[in-house]
Amino acid sequence: MKYLVTVKSVEDPEIKIKIKPDGTSIETDQVKYVVNPFDEIAVEEALRLRDAAGGGEVVAVTIGRKDAQQQLRTALAMGADRGVHVVCDQPLDPTLVSEALAKVVEGEKPDLVLMGKQAVDDDQGQVGAMLAERLGWGQASFVSKETSLESEDEKAKKPGVSIAGTTLQVVREVDGGMESVTVTLPAILTTDLRLNVPRYASLPGIMKAKKKEVKELKLADVVADPTPKVKILKLEPPAQRKAGIKVADVPTLVTKLKTEAKVL
């Protein structure tokens, strides 16, 4: 089995984002980048599937700036076998990204593509579905699992999804419950938060990752027209929240909830 995982380099969600004076992009100087946390879950799941099957190959792919290679290397340090980096330093939209990924998939011919359900920078969550459409493949979105992240299976790093022959069986998170589905391979799988706890890139893993192959492609190699169809017009920070108040006791709280907040 061959697994393709996407790794998007995103601004560290822990840091404060600053909007540039142009109002349509954010300040990137001295900004720390990390692997999109949902993609880390996808990498982890691919590694578990490979290791549980006793073989296979995990290929990590990223599209973005030259220095996004550090995030690609992080996936390799976690244990992915090799990388593909579509190097580009221009605005992208889900249409372009899915077109580029479809081209990479055409070349790599994976049995399963694993992606985060969304990237935490722009939260669009469109690429998985678009890629499935372009390829004509089935897609399982918001993939989770029945057992908890404190379970013995999780501690033993067992995969949360299962593959039998050409059938992928997964559990999806839906409103108020879980849904079990099967999808015929080749397929796309997008990961939700509770699928697994991703491993840390280890120091020996980081050393090994230095020697792993990363194939570089240009955006022009994988898309016909690099003009984005979606344009960002304006970015605004959320309105500042007013400081809360402290109340003396529960009766005062109830009164205020009734008369001021009017929620009771």
Binding residues for other proteins, rule: CB under 8 A, are 15-16, 18, 27, 30, 34, 69-70, 73-74, 77, 200-207, 209-210
CB of 176 or CB of 237, closer to other proteins: 237
* Pick 181 or 197: Cβ nearer other proteins: 197
Q: How far is the CB of 54 from other proteins (least distance, A)?
A: 21
Q: Which is nearer to other proteins, 18 or 218 (CB)?
A: 18
Between 205 and 228, whose beta carbon lies closer to other proteins?
Answer: 205
Instruction: Find the shortest distance in angstroms from Cβ 63 to other proteins.
Output: 18
CB nearer other proteins, residue 210 or residue 242 = 210
How near is the Cβ of 15 to other proteins at its closest, in Å?
6
Nearer to other proteins, 75 or 187 (CB): 75
State the minimum distance, in angstroms, from the CB of residue 116 to other proteins.
Answer: 17
Residue 204 beta carbon to other proteins: minimum distance, rounded to whole angstroms: 4
DSSP calls for the chain: -EEEEE--EEE-TTSPP-B-TTSSSB--TT--EEE-HHHHHHHHHHHHHHHHHT--EEEEEEEE-GGGHHHHHHHHHHT-SEEEEEE--S---HHHHHHHHHHHHHHH--SEEEEESS-TTT----HHHHHHHHHT-EEEEEEE-SS-TTSHHHHTT--SSEEETTEEEEEEEETTEEEEEEEESSEEEEE-TTS--PPPPPHHHHHHHHHS-EEEEEHHHH-S----S-------PPPPPPP----SSHHHHHHHHHHTS---
Q: Which two tokens stand for residue 92?
A: 């992208």
Min CB(31)–other proteins separation in Å: 10
